[in-house]
Amino acid sequence: MLCRRNALIRSKELGISERLFLNVCPSLLQANDHERGVTAALLEELGIERSNITFELTERTLIEDYGLFNRVLSYYREQGYSIAIDDLGSGYAGLKMLAQLEPEYVKLARFLVSDIDTSATRQALVEALVTFCGKIGAKVIAEGIERKEELDLLTQMGVSFGQGYLLARPSNAPVSCSSILHR
């Protein structure tokens, strides 16, 4: 919660008005001692719209009761938040999590993206995931783009969003999307 609070405060200080992705461990959302409404109160205090917030769920935690977890996600979606699966392909659930949670965003794990231009297997897998995500209305984000060849191929495959050192290095200053697109 401290990381989330600091991230939201810092985004306000930087004047970021675009969508913010906040990492959340699925087990936290289901915990009995999880205080609901804390994030909503902070967003209201900072003047940030809930519709600009995406909870990014790590795939590295096992979800045991998808029915219960979907009810928890419905609660957050009804409040205007969106859901992303982070690092798809690197954890426990993979396709089950994708099919059960029907996220608005899917972030492809770096191992799928790294050197994708040299691997027919990874290309086939990413093409299938992009097609599937398109059919359920989920936007695909490729993580770990470090080479132009990877970016070019991912773009051809229909991946709309990306992150990685090729696009921008971590920085304290906001980066303009238009400056990235014109590289």
pTM, entire model: 0.86
Structural domain spans, the chain: 1-84, 104-183
Q: What is the pLDDT of residue 182?
A: 39
**Residue 164: helix, strand or coil by DSSP?**
coil
* Residue spans of the chain under pLDDT 50: 178-183
pLDDT of the residue at 178: 44
Which pLDDT does position 25 carry in this prediction? 80
Beta-strand ranges (E) seen in the chain are 20-24, 53-58, 82-88, 105-108, 139-142, 161-162
Give the pLDDT confidence score for residue 174 in this predicted structure: 61
Question: Cα 98 vs. chain centroid, distance in angstroms?
Answer: 12
pLDDT for position 38: 87
Cβ proximity of 159 and 142 under 8 Å: yes
- Cβ-proximal residues to 136 (8 Å cutoff; 6+ apart), any chain: 102
Q: Looking at residue 95, what is its pLDDT? A: 82
| pLDDT reported for residue 180 | 46
Residue indicated by tokens 């051809």: 156
Res 179: pLDDT: 42
**Alpha-carbon distance 55 to 69, whole Å?**
13
Distance CA 89, CA 109 (A): 6
